[in-house]
């Protein structure tokens, strides 16, 4: 799932809105995987910084 990030979403999250970048575009990318918990653990073990841990919504 790919969608534009609104200013309100950007201010509440950890990414930049297009207006704060002087224009351009900003998007949110959602990737669906079979086992997100395992993927997040592997990513963190490999050095990724987890800004928002996986959660059910």
* Lookup result for tokens 């997040």: 40
Cβ(7)–Cβ(21) under 8 Å? no
Q: Which residues contact 40 (CB under 8 A, 6 or more apart)?
A: 50, 53, 54
| pLDDT of 2 higher than 60 | no
What's the predicted TM-score (pTM) here? 0.51
What are the sequence ranges of the domains in the chain? 2-45
pLDDT in tens, 34-48: 999 999 999 999 999
């Amino acid at each position: 799932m790919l969608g534009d990030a609104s200013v309100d979403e950007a201010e509440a999250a950890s990414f930049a809105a297009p207006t704060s970048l002087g224009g351009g575009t900003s998007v949110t990318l959602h990737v669906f995987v079979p086992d997100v918990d395992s993927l997040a653990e592997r990513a963190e073990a490999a050095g990724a910084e987890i800004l928002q841990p996986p959660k059910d919504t």
